[in-house]
Amino acid sequence: MKNVLVIDDDEKICWAFEQFLESEGYAPSIANNAEEGLRRIASDKPDVVLLDVKLPGMSGLEALGEIKAHHPWIIVVIITAYDDVETTIEAMRLQAFDFVPKPIDLELVKSVLERAFRTQSVRSTLPMEIVDDSLTARPMHRLVGKSSEMREIYKLIGVMASNTMTVLIEGETGTGKDLVARAIHVGSERKEKPFVPVDCGALPDELLESELFGYEAGAFTGAKAEGKPGRFELANGGTLFLDEVSNMSPALQVKLLRVLQAQEIERLGGTRTLKVDVRVIAATNQELGEMVRLGKFRDDLYYRFKRIALHLPPLRGRQEDIPLLITHFLQLIQDELGKPIRGISKEGMKLLQDYAWPGNVRELENCVRSAATLCRANVILPDDLPPEVRTGHSAGTTDAAQLETSLKSMLQNMTKTAIAENRKGLYEEVVAMLDRALIELVLDEFSGNHSKTAELLGMSRTTLIKKIKQQNDNE
Ligand SMILES: Nc1ncnc2c1ncn2[C@@H]1O[C@H](COP(=O)(O)OP(=O)(O)OP(=O)(O)O)[C@@H](O)[C@H]1O
Ligand SMILES: [Mg+2]
């Protein structure tokens, strides 16, 4: 029998879990606080623990630390509030297996448990993991968002924070790459050591090279007499953040790869090799894979980065995060402005949620900032928003780009709904919808004239009439 221990102080939840677990063929046991849970773990040796984070007495995270220190093979699934970012990251760092958000969805619990037991059967054939028990709770940079995409990111940040592998953060401009890099650093054991950012796009190649690796006295004309340490040296023991790494020249890419492999550097004009202990996080808003195909980025370096890549989702695919981000920015901004902002009108919020945000969270932040500055009566109204948000047309983007962005956003929503509702046949559905919208539009334009409509669409009149009939039949 597969043993599952539930540690939760809410008796109703415990009861519901017990019924559910029994009906699924597991052997459940229950503890109402962490201390009792730890005793039960020692006596019952459960395979999986479902652990609430908010417990009276010892907290869930402390309990997780204890469990993993003494029984590293037990799989712990954390039960937590939806948008508790810090807990998610910390728990992943402490080797939690996964999360079940409250309110609890038993279908999700079922699939997480199935995955947990599958993992365990594979893992029982592997050597035991060594778990560091010297971990304490750590604060982190504030990331906001509770969409499933962002929750995946929090988990990955937690996992990345617990190791020192090279990480690549990909994502469009303004999606939070900088923030995520810092969150990984702050969540890691290196947090007391330096976090050193280098913008690889801001410096010409030779300068970037001496910035990264430093130089010895007399290395080149204009070099300082005493030489200069590079950012790698400055980041020793900590994290080096290579921002916009796609801008690095191929020659420098080779050097970087060597340093990553050997963990040692040579200053320019020097002969000594210096051992460095640096965790490298790289970020790019370009498709590095595409750049490799075009021969602009070295494939060996790309593969080294790509082993652990974190892809930050654009804002347009996660509308549910927009109100949270707005509240977050309003709080920050009203402190700066010294005027209270009561909120945002319904119409204003709708415009903000419907806009495609090509500049992602940064553009949203700037927009909230300017609206908060402009607004009277301490409420943000549609008039306070920038014209592109009011009209839904991004400044500086062409109509085609705008159309593609809105289409993508719409398709993303349809995909999500189809997944959530477990529907099939999405392709047909999308094509049928486009077909209908386009035909209706053009028909309208030509006041219902079939010949003109067919001509513009580039199809025969018979095909058009057949399509219209089909559409009417399907309604
Ligand atoms: N999830 C988030 N929660 C709160 N603030 C965020 C979030 N994502 C981004 N921001 C904020 O948006 C702004 C832009 O984020 P950041 O600088 O990390 O983006 P980036 O991906 O590095 O962009 P670029 O590619 O242009 O360098 C910052 O002010 C950051 O604090
Ligand atoms: Mg950045």
**Which tokens belong to 368?**
């909230």
Considering every ligand atom shown, identify the ligand nearest to the alpha carbon of residue 177 and give its number: 1
Topology given in CATH for the domain delimited by 3-123: Rossmann fold (3.40.50)
Give the pLDDT of residue 124: 38
Considering only CA atoms, which residue is closest to atom 15 of ligand 1?
Answer: 176
Nearest residue to 188 via CA among 140, 253, 241, 240: 140
> Which of 146-150, 238-242, 414-418 is least confident?
414-418
What pTM did the predictor assign? 0.66
Per-residue pLDDT tens digits for 187-206: 899 989 999 999 998 888 88
Into which CATH architecture does domain 399-474 fall? Answer: Orthogonal Bundle (1.10)
**Which tokens belong to 378?**
């301490």
Give the pLDDT of residue 228: 86
More confident residue, 333 or 118: 333
Residue 64 has pLDDT above 90, yes or no: yes
**Peptide bond preceding 194 in cis form (omega within 30 of 0):** no
Residue 128 has pLDDT above 50, yes or no: no
Number of the ligand 1 atom closest to the C-alpha atom of 175: 21
Around ligand 1, the residues with Cβ closer than 6 Å are 143-145, 171, 173-179, 285, 325, 328, 361-362, 365
Give the pLDDT of residue 125: 35
Per-residue pLDDT tens digits for 381-396: 898 999 999 987 665 5
Nearest residue to 345 via CA among 317, 296, 384: 384
454-464 average pLDDT score: 86
Residue 404 has pLDDT above 70, yes or no: no
Considering every ligand atom shown, identify the ligand nearest to the alpha carbon of residue 178 and give its number: 1
More confident residue, 449 or 280: 280
Per-residue pLDDT tens digits for 14-53: 999 999 999 999 999 999 999 999 999 988 889 999 999 9
Nearest residue to 63 via CA among 103, 16, 31: 31
431-440 average pLDDT score: 84
DSSP secondary-structure letter at 383? G
Residue 179 CA to ligand 1 center (angstroms) comes to 6
Cβ-based burial of 302 (10 A; exposed 0-12, middle 13-18, buried ≥19):
buried
Sequence letter at residue 40 = R
Mean pLDDT score across all residues of the chain: 85
Q: Measure Cα distances from 24 to 51, 99, 104, 110, 112 in Å.
A: 19, 19, 16, 8, 13
Contact 363, 345 (CB under 8 A): no
Give the pLDDT of residue 290: 86
Name the β-bridge partners of 52: 79
The residue ranges of every structural domain in the chain are: 3-123, 148-311, 316-391, 399-474
Phi-psi region of 16 (alpha: psi -120 to 50; beta: other; left: phi over 0): alpha
- Fold equal for 3-123 and 148-311: yes
Number of the ligand 1 atom closest to the C-alpha atom of 145: 1
Give the pLDDT of residue 367: 95
Give the pLDDT of residue 137: 26
Residue 132 has pLDDT above 60, yes or no: no
Considering only CA atoms, which residue is closest to atom 12 of ligand 1?
Answer: 362
Number of the ligand 1 atom closest to the C-alpha atom of 178: 18
Task: Report the alpha-carbon angle 285-290-295, nearest 5.
Answer: 115
Residue 139 has pLDDT above 50, yes or no: no
- CATH hierarchy code of domain 148-311: 3.40.50.300
Residue 69 has pLDDT above 70, yes or no: yes
Cβ-based burial of 62 (10 A; exposed 0-12, middle 13-18, buried ≥19):
middle
| pLDDT band with cut points at 50, 70 and 90 for residue 470 | confident
- CATH hierarchy code of domain 316-391: 1.10.8.60
